[in-house]
């Protein structure tokens, strides 16, 4: 609720930073008015999450494309060392996990997942007020909103379950595709209905294996979302101390912000690594053909 003076309260501050910029189609046409979100239905898009994820994907492609023409065995540049380190790291993980078959898609996809997710996670280190405030000022200057505080803008795509579950869904589609391609439709259905208790317990097997299959993309997406959302919440709470508290507590908040940012770097890298490893593991399981 708003304060009596009309100033933004702590609850409003938190809610504002957790709200996406949504554009969608209403009965009156396309709009980005936050008050019309309930009228958008299915055709509603989190423009900030989509925009930043696409932008960071282009950064990934551009960064690696920039380093390829400059490859040198005599005097490797810093960007070449970085690219080679990423490729070798991913290659070691793929070779150690994906041993059941040969698939030229796994390596490039694992590299894309690792770097892309890490770049999206890395946006969590940008001070929570900077880009949203700038976006609000631009929106106010262009007449999109009357007050910059009415503009919503999130900059960490992986704190949006639509993004994380969307990536997990893409992995799930590949799991189904390769399961059917490698084992055949009959073999895939047999895997769902004949394990682990044999043909006399087919309904039970189907429930158990079906839940196990569906849980893979859900857990993959929600794990990434949950960890990044929690990290963002801590940054917002620290920023709240800086904004609404006294000078002494505000200075303490600066120190807490720095300490949490340094620790959070490990979480950002770890979550990108886990997403990559689980993707490789799930696709390796889809390629297994021997009976269990």
Q: Which of 49, 219, 245, 246 is catalytic?
A: 219
Instruction: Say how far residue 61 (Cα) sits from the centre of its chain.
Output: 17
Q: Give 178-199 pLDDT, tens digit per residue.
A: 999 988 898 888 888 887 777 7
* Cα distances (angstroms) measured from residue 171 to each of 83, 113, 229, 230: 24, 10, 21, 24
Q: Give 49-90 pLDDT, tens digit per residue.
A: 999 999 999 999 998 887 766 655 666 667 777 888 889 999
Distance (Å, whole) CA 121 – CA 116: 9
**Percentage of residues in the chain having pLDDT higher than 70:** 84
Query: Structural domain boundaries of the chain?
Result: 10-287
Task: Answer for the pair 117, 276: CB distance below 8 angstroms, yes or no.
Answer: yes
Rg (CA), the chain: 23
Q: Which of 103, 223, 246, 248 is catalytic?
A: 223
Q: What are phi and psi of 46, to 5 degrees?
A: -80, 90
Q: Give 251-278 pLDDT, tens digit per residue.
A: 565 666 677 778 888 899 999 999 999 9
Instruction: Say how far residue 196 (Cα) sits from the centre of its chain.
Output: 33
Residue 151 token pair: 């503009």
217's enclosing H/E stretch is: helix 202-244
Task: Answer for the pair 243, 13: CB distance below 8 angstroms, yes or no.
Answer: yes
Angle ∠(67,68,69) on CA atoms, nearest 5: 100
Q: Is 65 tagged catalytic?
A: no
Q: Which of 53, 121, 179, 227 is catalytic?
A: 227
Whether the per-residue pLDDT at 246 is higher than 60: the answer is: no
Query: What is the number of residues in the chain?
Result: 292
Distance (Å, whole) CA 132 – CA 140: 12
Q: Is 219 tagged catalytic?
A: yes
Assign 2 a pLDDT band (cuts: 50, 70, 90): very low
């Amino acid at each position: 609720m708003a304060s009596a003076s009309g100033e933004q309260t702590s609850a409003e501050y938190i809610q504002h930073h957790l709200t996406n910029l949504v554009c969608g189609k209403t009965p009156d046409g396309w709009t980005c008015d936050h008050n019309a979100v309930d009228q958008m239905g299915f055709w509603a898009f989190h423009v900030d999450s989509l925009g930043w994820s696409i932008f960071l994907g282009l950064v990934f492609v551009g960064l690696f494309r920039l380093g390829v023409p400059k490859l040198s065995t005599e005097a490797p540049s810093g960007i070449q060392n970085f690219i080679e380190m990423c490729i070798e790291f991913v290659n070691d993980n793929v070779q150690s996990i994906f041993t059941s078959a040969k698939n030229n898609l796994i390596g490039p996809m694992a590299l894309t997942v690792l770097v892309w997710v890490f770049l999206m996670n890395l946006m969590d280190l940008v001070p929570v007020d900077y880009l949203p405030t700038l976006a609000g000022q631009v929106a106010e200057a262009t007449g999109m909103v009357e007050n910059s505080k009415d503009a919503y803008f999130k900059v960490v795509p992986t704190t949006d379950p639509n993004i994380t579950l969307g990536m997990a869904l893409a992995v799930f589609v590949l799991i189904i595709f390769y399961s059917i391609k490698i084992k055949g439709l009959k073999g895939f259905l047999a895997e769902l209905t004949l394990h682990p208790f044999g043909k006399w317990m087919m309904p039970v097997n189907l429930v158990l294996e079906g839940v196990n299959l569906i849980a893979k993309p859900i857990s993959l997406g929600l794990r990434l979302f949950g960890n990044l959302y929690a990290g963002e919440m801590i940054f917002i709470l620290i920023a709240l101390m800086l904004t609404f508290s006294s000078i002494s507590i505000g200075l303490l908040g600066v120190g807490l912000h720095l300490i949490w940012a340094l620790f959070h770097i490990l979480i950002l890298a770890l979550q990108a690594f886990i997403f990559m490893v689980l993707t490789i593991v799930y696709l390796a399981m889809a390629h297994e053909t021997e009976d269990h």
